A and B are shown apart, each in its own frame.
Chain A
């Protein structure tokens, strides 16, 4: 009888250790703890060019992550990209004249949406749109423009 008891205890320890490992992977290694922090609300913004922005890219204010890009659609009528962002609960005081930019983390890093707060006393609410946006800087275009202007300088 004592032998089966030891067996049961060992098996119980094994299964507990397995679940602890799974829990560790879920909480410490993945983003489950971060994304489970409430539902928040969504904002949209229209950009002429989003560069290589991806869904799930961070949305940050003053460098602090306040949300994530939820979906990116293309509007055929205005030829613009419609970016839907989910802002975490608690960050509910984003002025209505906030400026949305697409920045790149580092020279070759991934792109993210940076919000520059304006001075309006009204705050954006769920489903509203950020009016002021600036497109992503596409490195190839900038290099192209730079070379082009250099060539013009030389020819003059």
Chain B
């Protein structure tokens, strides 16, 4: 009985301690951001690793998600004689939800896991300690550029995902299923609002980018410095990022489109 209570208490305290360390790390990273801007080379290398290398999977997924939305949406809308609204449906679901969320999930799998593994391995091979020995702050030199890289890359990737998805839906709807070309675009332009839909979608993707990068960096930095510790940290990055993205998406959607 007492043992069970003690275990529960330890679990709670451990979680709180982890949360606290994660926030301290975040403040450290934010404090290190100005020094990143003085060394743009580091940032460019990170945007390449995090953003450019993720473009292929983002574009391909966006295209297929858009095409599937086109097919499924047409099937439902045609039953109500509203096939012309296909453009609205595809664009609204992509820009509001699927673009930011699916991009964030892919981003966590493609870039987040790589960040955790890289930093965890740096810790396991004591490269981070070596940097500290040379009076180089690893948070500023290693973590801050990666954080900024994720912050910049994620909204751009989400925008690409949505844009390619709309084109995929256009290709299926207009090209294959015979929806009217003009109605597809004009209904879309009439119903999709710039501020309400597009800006909110970008805000979502920025938030997800920060959250996923933060989780990835923290898990790597906090990993047990063994090979199994790094592997566990990588798994945790993907799982926690996915859960955080889905949970925050619900909260953000309720705040943005709730009324």
Residues of A within 8 A of B (CB): 4, 7-8, 10-11, 13-15, 17-22, 24-26, 28-35, 56, 58
Contacts and interface: CB of A to CB of B under 8 A. Distances in A.
Contact of A29 (B41, B44, B153, B198): B198
A116 B169 CA distance: 38
Given A10-B52, A11-B47, A29 B95 contact: yes
A8 B44 contact: yes
Interface residues of B, number: 33
A106 to B, nearest CB: 9
A29 B188 contact: yes
Interface string B179-194: 0000001001111111
A24 B163 contact: yes
B160 interface: yes
A11 B192 contact: no
Contact of B160 (A21, A30, A33): A21
Interface of B: 41, 44-45, 47-48, 51-52, 55, 91, 95, 152-153, 155-157, 159-160, 162-164, 166, 185, 188-194, 197-198, 201-202
B194 A30 contact: yes
Contacts of A14: 47-48, 51-52, 55, 153, 156
Main secondary structure of the interface of A (DSSP, over half): helix
B95 A28 contact: no
The 3 closest A-B pairs by CB, nearest first: A18-B156, A21-B163, A32-B194
B95 A25 contact: yes
A21 B48 contact: no
Nearest to B197: A30
A11 B48 contact: yes
Contact of A7 (B45, B95, B159): B45
B189 A33 contact: yes
A30 B198 contact: yes
B256 to A, nearest CB: 15
A15 B188 CA distance: 26
Given A10-B52, A18-B157, A19-B156, A25 B47 contact: no
